[in-house]
Amino acid sequence: MEIDPFIFRLSIFILSIFVGYYVVWSVTPSLHTPLMSVTNAISSVIIVGAIIAGLAGNSDSIFNTSSIFGFIAIALAAINIFGGFLVTQRMLAMYKKKKKDK
Amino acid sequence: MLSANLSAIFYLISGVLFILALRGLSSPETSRQGNYFGILGMIIAITVTFLSIGNFSTGFVVILIFLLIGGLIGAFIAYKIPMTAMPELVAGFHSLVGLAAVFVAISAFLNPDAFNLGSPGNIKLGSLIEMSIGAAVGAITFSGSIIAFLKLQGIMSGSPITFKGQHPLNAIILVLIVVNIYLLCTTQSSNLFWILLAISFLIGFLLIIPIGGADMPVVISMLNSYSGWAAAGIGFTLENTALIITGALVGSSGAILSYIMCKGMNRSFFNVILGGFGATDQTNSTQNKEQKPVKSGNADDAAFLMKNASSVIIVPGYGMAVAQAQHALREMVDTLKKNDIKVSYAIHPVAGRMPGHMNVLLAEANVPYDEVFELEEINNDFANADVAFVIGANDVTNPVAKTDPQSPIYGMPVLDVEKCKSVLFVKRSLSPGYAGIDNDLFYKENTLMLFADAKKMTEDITKNL
């Protein structure tokens, strides 16, 4: 009997939850805000689904209901990707160590 | 055109890069590199998607245009947003992830052929379940985040909105969602799909309105978690590893943050989610304690106290963010340091409106992060410090949490500010904080109240130093 591919995806999912659990506990509390903004950015990898949806229309009709939803989703996810990574970058650039002046 | 196996490997790589991006955040030094890993992962994922579809016709150009529009808006926001508005920004971004998940689910439902999920009206059962869960969670994330955004932005009142029968109503709607998903999967009816989305939007809205302003750190973290689960649901539908990994990472990240925030308030997750905190106790506590004597002082007194101290601990809170006092505060600290006074900052886990809110504001004001300490790291130092300077914080310093089992905040970890030789408390008035209870600290022998706007008071103290 063959294993359903769903089980493999489920395994990846469960293991990733554990990876996430341990990785996030090691995040220093002072970086919790950048953590939220960067998780925001990376969860927008949902854009891959939006791209598939957007390209689904055939050459005669680029715009059908399904692909229009895809296009809008692309724009929404793009706001998040650029906004999320850039604002994280901006925040992280501010974290500085004490100048060693002694 | 990229083969399915090869693209799966690239998606896996971008998933790993996302893990590294979070890993980098374990210290400020590695965090910037981590962010680049994240960006690289995203570029790989997007490029691979284009290559694996291999369709570079007009549709491709249209996509690039939408990508560019979104990107420009995002970049513009990222550069313009003031650091004090970070909680609103994050809530707003969560709503976008939720909505994007909903839209992807809609297009997959309308055009399942494009995703290899079957044909309209005959979608594979597993995919349909995953899709409807992803869509429902996405919709809840969207409407919930919108409410959180409006509350944080002050467009909507931050006080809890409660009504009779709220919890039974929510429970009924949640049951309806499950029933609806079941019926949707058995009948494949598109009407049911739209109804599912509508009631999910509704429940997201209803779940967040009873939660008050100071519980926002929990709400934001929770919505962060939801946005991850929504992404994971869609990831299962699209059979995309990068999306599944990311969804799981973000989901558990948000869940952990919610847990840390709840622990910081010594409240259970359900207690926060069921909401209405502060609304019930506000009346009974404020009246009978008004008579106690309070010592109040001016900037001159405060400056005198600090000048004669050898170590000062600063306790910032949400009030500092509201007054935008972080820069003025840093200038005051610079002056103190010139006088050889040791200064450190103590941050309570739930200070501000989102996890790490205070740290970002201090970093913005060029405060070195190694002068900023968490509650457990610094709590023992209060006993040896001369002055505690409380600016915009209240409940997180209330000793009642340790002494009075009747108090609603009893058991909450608090900063032991009262152990300092003297306490300077910058506040606009004696009004109780969010929990609606009086702060005993106001009436202590060694407390000097400084009634003023946080920013103005800090500037005045600097002038007097």
ipTM of the complex: 0.93
DSSP letters, B179-228, are HHHHHHHHH--HHHHHHHHHHHHHHHHHHHTTS-GGGHHHHHHHHHHHHH
- Identify the band that residue A81 occupies on the pLDDT scale cut at 50, 70 and 90: very high
In eight-state DSSP terms, residue B102 is H
B 125-154 residues inside an 8 A Cβ radius of A? 126
Q: How does B104-118 read in b/e, with b if 16+ C-beta sit within 10 Å?
A: bbbbbbbbbebbebe
Question: Contacts of residue A43 in chain B, CB cutoff 8 Å?
Answer: 97, 227-228, 231, 246-247, 250
Minimum-distance CB partner of B228 among A32, A35, A43: A43
Q: Does residue B227 register a pLDDT over 70?
A: yes
In eight-state DSSP terms, residue A4 is P
- Give how far Cα A90 sits from Cα of A94, A95, B303, B365, Å: 7, 10, 34, 13
CA distance A66 to chain B (A): 4
Phi, psi values for residue B123, rounded to 5°: -80, 145
In eight-state DSSP terms, residue B289 is T
pLDDT for the residue A57: 64
B313 beta partners: B344, B388
Q: Does residue B358 register a pLDDT over 70?
A: yes
Which whole number is the average pLDDT over B434-447?
78
Q: Say if the Cβ atoms of B90 and A28 lie within 8 Å.
A: no
B297 burial class (0-12, 13-18, 19+ CB within 10 angstroms)? middle
In eight-state DSSP terms, residue B292 is S
Q: Cβ of B238 under 8 Å from any chain A Cβ?
A: yes
Minimum-distance CB partner of B75 among A56, A83, A91: A83
Q: Does residue B193 register a pLDDT over 80?
A: yes
- Identify the band that residue B281 occupies on the pLDDT scale cut at 50, 70 and 90: very low
pLDDT for the residue A58: 60
pLDDT for the residue B327: 92
In eight-state DSSP terms, residue B296 is B
Which whole number is the average pLDDT over A24-53?
92
Residue B141 three-state SS: helix
Q: Dihedral sign, CA of B138, B140, B142, B145?
A: negative
How much is the pTM?
0.89
> What CA–CA distance (Å, rounded) separates B143 from B226?
12
Question: Contacts of residue A53 in chain B, CB cutoff 8 Å?
Answer: 103-104, 107-108, 111, 114-115
CA distance B328 to chain A (A): 17
Q: Does residue B284 register a pLDDT over 50?
A: no
Per the annotation, the verdict on B386 as an active-site residue is: no
Which whole number is the average pLDDT over B120-124?
84
Cβ atoms of B238 and B115 within 8 Å: the answer is yes
pLDDT for the residue B161: 79
Q: Cβ of B98 under 8 Å from any chain A Cβ?
A: no
> What CA–CA distance (Å, rounded) separates B274 from B397?
25
> What CA–CA distance (Å, rounded) separates B325 from B314?
13
> What CA–CA distance (Å, rounded) separates A2 from A4?
6
Q: Does residue B139 register a pLDDT over 50?
A: yes
pLDDT for the residue B280: 44
CA distance A2 to chain B (A): 17
Which whole number is the average pLDDT over B87-95?
93
A 55-74 residues inside an 8 A Cβ radius of B? 55-57, 59, 62, 64-67, 69-74
Q: Which residue of B has its CA nearest to A92?
A: B32
Q: Which residue of B has its CA nearest to A27?
A: B26
Q: What is the pLDDT of residues B154-177, one digit of tens each?
A: 888 777 777 888 888 888 999 999
Cβ atoms of B199 and B180 within 8 Å: the answer is yes
The length of chain A is: 102
Which whole number is the average pLDDT over B16-34?
93
Q: Lowest-confidence range among B7-16, B104-113, B292-301?
A: B292-301
Q: Cβ of A11 under 8 Å from any chain B Cβ?
A: no
B176 burial class (0-12, 13-18, 19+ CB within 10 angstroms)? middle
Q: Lowest-confidence range among A28-42, B19-33, B103-117, B276-290?
A: B276-290
pLDDT for the residue B115: 83
pLDDT for the residue A50: 92
Phi, psi values for residue B198, rounded to 5°: -60, -50
pLDDT for the residue B286: 45
CA distance B445 to chain A (A): 33
Select the more confidently predicted residue: B315 or A55.
B315
Report percent pLDDT > 70 for chain B: 95
- The amino acid occupying position B417 is V
Q: Cβ of B117 under 8 Å from any chain A Cβ?
A: no
For chain B, the average pLDDT equals: 87
Among candidate residues B395, B416, B438, B460, the one labeled active-site is: B395
Q: Say if the Cβ atoms of A84 and B364 lie within 8 Å.
A: no
B77 is written with which tokens? 């926001």
